[in-house]
Each structure stands twice: as structure tokens, then as C-alpha cells.
């Protein structure tokens, strides 16, 4: 069965920037605000659900939200996932160890 993998990674600069935008109302230059908009929902969910390392929690929530987006993406992905023609999982790649932890 084909597998789609959404893979976040530790110490993600884009997620860290999204945390600064959400928490500190930071403004970013150039095209960065467009990138950050897609990550902001994960930061908001992480802030509400997790205590501790907000960047790490937001990385995990971003992976989860993107796996969910695949299930909601009609008609091709959602139908293929529902019929089990393909599978989708998320994971976090640890830059220090090279290991992937499934979530």
C-alpha cells in the first residue's frame, strides 16, 4: 500500500517564527507571512493543549493538522484514504539523532 508521510522536524525555524507571530505579534518581512499563515493554526492548538516547549508542541500539531488536511482533501486523497488504497501518517524527524518518531 502506498504511504503518504507528513514529516515535521525538530527545531523548525518556520514553526518557531509562527510561534513568535502568534505569541508576540511579531511581523515578518517579505513572503514569510504567507508561509506562517498555514502554520498559525497549529500554534494556536498547541498553545491550548500543551504546556512546556511550545515550538515542539506546535511542530507536532502542525504534522497532525496536515495529516487531517489530507483526509479532508476532496475528492482524490480523501477517497483514496477512506478506501485504504493509500495510508497517511505523521512523524517528527529528530535532526540530532536522525530518527523519526511516528505520531
From first to last of the 103 residues of the chain, give the pLDDT tens digit.
899 999 999 999 999 999 999 999 988 888 888 989 999 999 999 998 877 899 999 999 999 999 999 999 889 999 999 999 999 999 999 999 999 999 9
Q: Determine the straight-line distance between the first and last CA of the chain, rounded to whole angstroms.
A: 19
pLDDT for residue 3: 95
d(CA 25, CA 3): 37
The answer to whether 78 and 4 are in contact (CB under 8 A) is no
**SS3 breakdown of the chain: % helix, strand, coil, rounded to 5?**
55, 15, 30
**53, 52, 46, 43: which is closest to 22 by C-alpha?**
43
**103, 98, 93: which is closest to 15 by C-alpha?**
93
pLDDT for residue 26: 87
- Give the chain's domains with CATH numbers: 3-102 (3.40.1050.10)
Which whole-number Å values give the CA distances from 7 to 65, 67, 75, in the listed order? 12, 10, 23
The answer to whether 90 and 8 are in contact (CB under 8 A) is yes
What is this structure's pTM?
0.89
**Secondary structure (3-state) at 75:** coil
Amino acid at each position: 500500500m502506498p504511504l503518504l508521510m507528513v514529516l515535521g522536524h525538530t527545531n523548525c525555524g518556520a514553526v518557531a517564527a509562527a510561534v513568535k507571530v502568534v505569541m508576540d505579534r511579531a511581523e515578518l518581512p517579505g513572503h514569510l507571512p504567507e508561509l506562517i499563515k498555514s502554520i498559525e493554526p497549529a500554534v494556536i492548538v498547541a498553545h491550548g493543549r500543551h504546556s512546556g516547549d511550545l515550538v515542539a508542541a506546535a511542530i507536532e500539531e502542525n504534522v497532525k493538522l496536515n495529516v487531517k488536511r489530507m483526509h479532508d482533501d476532496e475528492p482524490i486523497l480523501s477517497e483514496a484514504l477512506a478506501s485504504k488504497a493509500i495510508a497517511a501518517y505523521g512523524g517528527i524527524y529528530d535532526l540530532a539523532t536522525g530518527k523519526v518518531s511516528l505520531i
